[in-house]
Amino acid sequence: LAKTTQPISMDSYEGQEVNITCSHNNIATNDYITWYQQFPSQGPRFIIQGYKTKVTNEVASLFIPADRKSSTLSLPRVSLSDTAVYYCLVEGGGRRALTFGSGTRLQVQP
């Protein structure tokens, strides 16, 4: 099964940029990399998805190096409301793509 590895937790302060890196050494050619955010008592919510290089939307940026064995979610100028658990998924179809890891618990302090 494709496995992702992320830091268990991270701390930051309001206004700072936060970068969360995920390693996925077994990524396959057809796999996409997707990040989700989950707040307490809610279901995960899509943040961003990419295949290679860089993707940016209104919420975050996703950096993927050429070998695609890792990816970095970048949250610019975090606020208290960004405190959540962030999951990295490798999605290429099938069960192996639908395994959420333990996620990274981000705590943003004032």
Partner 1 sequence: DARVTQTPRDKVTEMGQEVTMRCQPILGHNTVFWYRQTMMQGLELLAYFRNRAPLDDSGMPKDRFSAEMPDATLATLKIQPSEPRDSAVYFCASGFTSGGHQETQYFGPGTRLLVL
We find the least distance from the C-beta atom of residue 2 to partner 1, in angstroms, to be 13
We find the least distance from the C-beta atom of residue 99 to partner 1, in angstroms, to be 7
* Residue closer to partner 1 (CB basis): 18 or 48: 48
* Residue closer to partner 1 (CB basis): 41 or 81: 41
* Residues binding partner 1: number (CB under 8 A): 24
Which of 3, 45, 69, 77 touches partner 1 (CB under 8 A)? 45
CB 26 within 8 A of CB 79: no
Q: Does 9 bind partner 1 (CB under 8 A)?
A: no
Other CB atoms within 10 Å distance of the CB of residue 25: 12
CA dihedral 61, 65, 71, 75 (to 10 degrees): -20
Q: What one-letter code names the amino acid at 67?
A: D
Q: Structure tokens of 33?
A: 């990399």
Q: Does 102 bind partner 1 (CB under 8 A)?
A: yes
Contact string (CB under 8 A) for partner 1, positions 47-86, x = contact: --x-------------------------------------
Burial 74-91, CB ≥16 within 10 A → b, else e:
bbeebeeebbbbbbbbbe
CA dihedral 3, 98, 22, 45 (to 10 degrees): -160
Interface residues toward partner 1, by CB under 8 A: 30, 32, 34, 36, 41-46, 49, 87, 91-95, 97-103
